[in-house]
A and B are shown apart, each in its own frame.
Chain A
Amino acid sequence: MAVLHIVKHSPDASQALRRCLARVGPSDSVLLIEDAVYAPASDAALRCAGKIYALLPDMAARGLTRNPLQGDVEYVDYAGFVQLVVNHDKVISWN
C-alpha cells in the first residue's frame, strides 16, 4: 500500500510542491512533471519521507539536465512513469 503524489507546478508558481512533500509517507513516492521539474534543476529544497522522481522528457523539453546537487532525485522516462503508477495503489495530484 503506497501513494504516488504527482506535482506539476514549479515551486514559484504554487505551494503545491511544498505542501505535498510535507504529507509524503515513507513508502510513498513523489513524481515531478511539467513545470515541477524546474525544482530538481534548481536548488529548491526537496526533502520528504519517500522517494522523489522527475520526468526526464519534461526536463528535456525545458532544456534541463540532471542536477548533481539534487542527489536524492531519481529520473524516469514515460515507461518509468507508468511503472510508478503500477507500483503504487493510489495516485494523488497536488494543484
Chain B
Amino acid sequence: MAEGMNGKRFLFVLRRFPIGGPQALEALDAALTAAAFDQPVRLLFLDDGVWQLKRGQPAASGRSPMALLGSLALYDIAAPPWVERESLEERGLTPQELTIEVTVLARDRVAALLDDCDVLLNL
C-alpha cells in the first residue's frame, strides 16, 4: 500500500551493525512484515545502521540485511529509505557507496521525521 492510504504509518529506525547478531536482519524483517500487512512503512538508517547499506558485503551468507533490502519494492515500500548525512560522514561513507537508492537527510531534520509517523520503532 502506498503512502497516504489507510493504515498506521510506521517508521522503523534501523541503528544496528549488519552482522554480528540477528538484530539488523530481524528489524528489517519486522518492517517487511508491517508492510505485508499493508501498512505504510518508512525506513530511517542512523548511526551504525548505515553500515547495513554499504555495497560490497558478501551476499551469500544471508546474515546481512543487504540482499533483503532489494525486496523493498516487492513489499510496496515505495519511498527510498532515509539516511542521516552525519551518520554517513562520521563513518567515512558516501551515498555512492550504498547498495540502494536513499534519501539523505541532515541531522537537524531527523526529529521532524521521527515525529511524522503513527508508530515509531527504534530497532
Touch between A and B in complex, CB under 8 Å? yes
Chain A residues with CB under 8 Å of chain B are 1-3, 15, 19, 22-28, 49, 90-95
Given contact pairs A19-B46, A19-B47, A92 touches B111 in the complex (Cβ within 8 A): no
Sampled A-B contacts (12; CB under 8 Å): A3-B111, A3-B120, A15-B47, A19-B47, A22-B86, A22-B110, A23-B107, A25-B112, A25-B115, A28-B114, A49-B111, A90-B115
Considering residues B46, B86, B112, B120, which has the most beta carbons from chain A within 10 angstroms of its beta carbon?
B120
Contact status A25-B47, CB under 8 Å = no
Q: What's the minimum C-beta distance from B21 to chain A, rounded to whole angstroms?
A: 12
- Which chain A residue lies CB-closest to B48? A15
B66 at the interface (CB under 8 A from A): no
Instruction: Point out the residues of chain A lying under 8 angstroms from B121, CB to CB.
Output: 92
Instruction: Point out the residues of chain A lying under 8 angstroms from B110, CB to CB.
Output: 22-23
Q: What's the minimum C-beta distance from B71 to chain A, rounded to whole angstroms?
A: 25
Give B96-122 interface residues, CB cut-off 8 Å to A. Answer: 107, 110-112, 114-115, 117-122
Beyond A22-B107, A26-B111, A92-B120, 8 extra complex contacts between A and B, CB < 8 Å? A3-B111, A3-B115, A22-B110, A23-B46, A23-B114, A28-B111, A49-B111, A90-B120
Instruction: Point out the residues of chain B lying under 8 angstroms from A91, CB to CB.
Output: 120
Instruction: Point out the residues of chain B lying under 8 angstroms from A1, CB to CB.
Output: 115
- Which chain B residue lies CB-closest to A50? B111
Q: What's the minimum C-beta distance from A25 to chain B, rounded to whole angstroms?
A: 3
B13 at the interface (CB under 8 A from A): yes
Contact status B122-A95, CB under 8 Å = yes
Instruction: Point out the residues of chain B lying under 8 angstroms from A25, CB to CB.
Output: 111-112, 114-115
